[in-house]
Structure 1
Amino acid sequence: MDSIITAIIQGIVEGLTEFLPVSSTGHLILSGKLLGFTGEKADTFEIIIQLGAILAVAVIYYRRILALFGLASSKESSAPATSHKLNLIHIILACLPAMVLGLVLHSVIKNYLFSPYTVLIGLVVGGVFMLYGQKRQATVQAEGIDELSYKQAFLIGLFQCLALWPGFSRSGATIAGGLLIGASYRAATNFSFLVAIPMMIAASGYELLKSYKLLTADDAMFFLTGFVVAFVVALLAVLTFLKLLERFKLAPFAYYRFVLAAVFFIYLISS
């Protein structure tokens, strides 16, 4: 029963934070420490529940994903005739920088950056970057996702590299970065979520290939519980976040990160 409760809690944490600009990796590391749930099994569990969160976003954006492969028309079709309507090249350009850098620095990141203290640094610095992106937002050149240029897609991909530091937040880096290079909140957010799908599949798949032997039949219910909880919570979280961002922008999420970092810093130095 304790393990199922842990699976539910971690599934909720993953679902709530994976696509919000607050860092799911950071939250899972911190919550895992609180629950005493660490080690190889915990790492494998995180991969499984991330796949649940990915599935949630794929369900929400299924029409857009099909459109990328020419299998359906997208609901959003306001792109000017002179623009490059969103296609696979945009996605590839946005994914390449972080994928390449992530492979090159994988061992360094896993060995030196996955600790509570480095996560706290990422939370604070990422929050500052989000506030900067909101304050210094460039003149909007891409109101909708179909108006993003190849150059903007690549630049967002470069900003995504900042999220290789656990705690920085992939969505926070890409949305704030998108604002700095002329994307609207709506365009930056939708593009961030779409790019998350191949990025997370690649990262989770890579890690799963290395740790699949840790999966056993005895843990099936534990992993399944976390997967389902993460899927349901992520589905609700993404739909809610899209509405909240239009109203509150990035600042409340940045301030939340500062408060969380302060609380856990006090906890860590006192424990």
Structure 2
Amino acid sequence: MADWLIGLIMGIVEGLTEFLPVSSTGHMILVGHLIGFEGERAKTFEVVVQLGSIMAVVVVFWKRLWTLVGVGRKKSGASLNLIHILLGMLPAAVLGFLFHDVIKEILFGPGPVVISLIAGGILMIVAEKFSKSSTAQTLDEITYKQAFYIGLFQCLALWPGFSRSGSTIAGGLLCRVSHTTAAEFTFILAVPMMLGASGLDLIKNWDILSAADLPLFVTGFVTAFVVAMLAIVSFLKLLARVKLTPFAYYRFALAALFYIFVMM
């Protein structure tokens, strides 16, 4: 299969799934296995296309991101600020730094991914069932305490297959943050987290890259960027109507497919 076509397919998969609560890692591994795109080159490619998805968040939420550094922020009243982001980042950043090698060695495998797909789905169903009326209907109503608790749930995303958005939105619901607000906070929180993680992985794997890989990586990056922008906007509208439960059931089906096609 031509590199540009692989880049197109995998870019679409990344863009569609990175910010949905369905596990982009699980989809990338499954689709990569089905089209024969695996190994170190594929892992490096995943890092590059993630950067495309991150850029989509920057474009969609650029006004809100500017307010985090004080540009255009309201002069009075509570509002989302850098302290919220730091509190949301801190738990996963510390845990990821301390246990990076252990996570890579133990959790990056087909078996753990299947388990996390199922566990993440169960968490989402539980969050929907036991969530109470929201006290934070907008980003500016999120408290520091809620931001930190959502950050604790983000630690689950260090387990491949759990899904960053799935774990943090579920955590937000349990902390009395509305669906769309939890999703928006998740997307904004993902920018520094994913930039740091992807940048580190890219530096470590820089020697693997070559000029011959340019069509693959450029196609994947651009495709992921465009598709992710569409997916983010569509998901926020969809989440107001269907909640998390259908995505949980989808994860169970994906876990079954993953087991059949990757593990058997």
TM-score bucket (shorter structure): over 0.9
1:9 maps to 9
Cα deviation, residue 46, structure 1: 0.5
Q: Percent identity?
A: 56
1:52 maps to 52
Q: Is the 8 A contact 1:143 1:183 kept in 2?
A: yes
| 1:191 is the counterpart of 2:169 | no
C-alpha distance in 2 between matches for 1:181 and 1:269: 36
- Aligned residues, how many? 264
C-alpha distance in 2 between matches for 1:252 and 1:122: 17
Secondary structure of the residue aligned to 2:261 is helix
C-alpha distance in 2 between matches for 1:39 and 1:160: 27
Residue pairs, 1:182-261, within 5 angstroms: 182-261=176-255
C-alpha distance in 2 between matches for 1:224 and 1:71: 32
Runs of 4+ in structure 1 deviating by more than 6 angstroms, as ranges, are: none
Cα deviation, residue 267, structure 1: 2.7
C-alpha distance in 2 between matches for 1:269 and 1:191: 35
Q: Which ranges in structure 2 are unaligned for 5 or more consecutive residues? A: none
Q: Which ranges in structure 1 are unaligned for 5 or more consecutive residues? A: none
Q: Which deviates the most, 117-126 or 1-10?
A: 1-10
Q: Is the 8 A contact 1:63 1:73 kept in 2?
A: no
> How high is the TM-score relative to the length of structure 1?
0.94
C-alpha distance in 1 between matches for 2:107 and 2:33: 15
| 1:132 is the counterpart of 2:126 | yes
Cα deviation, residue 269, structure 1: 5.1
Q: Is the 8 A contact 1:3 1:222 kept in 2?
A: yes
Q: Is the 8 A contact 1:7 1:223 kept in 2?
A: yes
The Cα RMSD (Å) is 1.5
CA deviation vs aligned residue, 1:43-90 (integer Å, no higher than 9, x gap): 11001000000000110000000111122348xx9xx94xx3100000
Higher relative contact order (CA 8 A, sep 6+): 2
1:41 maps to 41
> How high is the TM-score relative to the length of structure 2?
0.96
